[in-house]
Amino acid sequence: MSERMSTMIRVSKIAHAAYETPDLAQQTEYYTDIIGLTLVAQEKDAVYLASTVDHHSIVLRKGAQAQCTRVGFQIPDAADLDGFEKQVKSHGIATERRKDPEPSIKDMVVFADPKGTAMEVFKRDAFSHQKFQSKGIVPYKLGHVAFHVTDVKRVTKFYCDVLGFRESDWMADFFSFLRCGPDHHTINLMETGSNRHFHTAFELRDWAHLQTACDFLSLRGYKLLWGPGRHGIGHNLFAYHRAPNGLITETFAELDRMNEELGYYEPRPWHRDNPQRPKVWAKDPSASNLWGILPSDEMMK
């Protein structure tokens, strides 16, 4: 490991994702009544939605087109935000410093990733105490955000070198899965022909919770795009549907968790490798779904 890598400041958690959406009220209703997040603050053009100790996990703003515009990452309390900003600048990347930008965040370093999504890096200055909701799916947390990208190698390198992500797995040379904590992936990047949101994923408790979620979605008129199944890469149980604004939501459970010291994922009965370590997977249907059903064309729209 180079000196630079060993001393680098790494983000350790995805904190929030922010979206622009044409119909703010409709998307807010989806996140509260269907996903089961808590509406914690509403300004004229922004809505904050939460599920855990974080003040917000999802931010919605009114915009012409549904898109993910920003992703927030938390660094540990012991880390130095000035040092982190210097680290970003050392790559020739322009940064901006924002004081009191959002509730519960006093100081934030903001910069763009190579595809133009804003990265918001901060220390959590205050924790919230909202209870888990009793209506809707009610996930544990925001798990990951996946993007279509035009240059997967470049964007992957950015997340690793600038933010301190680690490569968890690759599907051939076109789909990377990156972690910033024990969860197998927090950001994943699939090279297609464009730069845009692919899906936003929420972690559920287990298979029973996923079943309840699929029945609940169906009763409320949401059809699954793909799943339920079990991914090969990451080994999570998954089911995908489309939110009212057209963006795809994944609900998942049983995602691989990394033991960083030992360099392998916590062993599970469905693993084919023993132990299961980060690797390049062949472009094979089992990398997508161990249970065999491949994604619909609708998933790639």
Nearer to Fe ion, 158 or 240 (CB): 240
Cβ 146 to Fe ion, closest distance in Å?
5
Between 34 and 201, whose beta carbon lies closer to Fe ion?
A: 201
Angle at 10 between CA 282 and CA 35, to 5 degrees: 70
Q: Which is nearer to Fe ion, 88 or 145 (CB)?
A: 145
Contact (Cβ atoms closer than 8 angstroms) between residue 272 and residue 235: no
* Shortest distance in whole angstroms from residue 5 CB to Fe ion: 27
**Closest approach of Fe ion to the CB of residue 26, in Å:** 24
Cis, bond preceding 228 (omega within 30 deg of 0):
yes
Q: Which is nearer to Fe ion, 13 or 123 (CB)?
A: 13
What's the closest the beta carbon of residue 253 comes to Fe ion, in angstroms?
12
Please report how close the Cβ of residue 201 comes to Fe ion at its closest, in angstroms.
4
Phi and psi at residue 31, in whole multiples of 5°? -70, -30
At its nearest, how many Å lie between Fe ion and the CB of residue 145?
9
Closer CB to Fe ion, 103 or 182, in the complex? 182
Q: How far is the CB of 232 from Fe ion (least distance, A)?
A: 13
CB 153 within 8 A of CB 161: no
Which residues of the shown chain bind Fe ion in the complex (CB under 5 A)?
Answer: 201, 250
Q: For residues 36 and 229, which CB has a smaller minimum distance to Fe ion in the complex?
A: 229
Q: Could you tell me the smallest distance in angstroms from the CB atom of residue 231 to Fe ion?
A: 8
When the beta carbons of 120 and 250 are compared against Fe ion, the nearer one is 250
3-state secondary structure the chain: CCHHHHHCCCCCEEEEEEEEECCHHHHHHHHHHHHCCEEEEECCCEEEEECCCCCCCEEEEECCCCEEEEEEEECCCCCCHHHHHHHHHCCCCCCEEEEEEECCEEEEEEEECCCCCEEEEECCCCCCCCCCCCCCCCCCEEEEEEEEECCHHHHHHHHHHHHCCEEEEEECCCEEEEECCCECCCEEEEECCCCEEEEEEEECCCHHHHHHHHHHHHHCCCCEEEEEEECCCCCCEEEEEECCCCCEEEEEECCCEEECCCCEECCCCCCCCCCCCCEEECCCHHHHCCCCCCCCHHHHC
- In the complex with Fe ion, the residue whose CB is nearer, 38 or 186, is 186
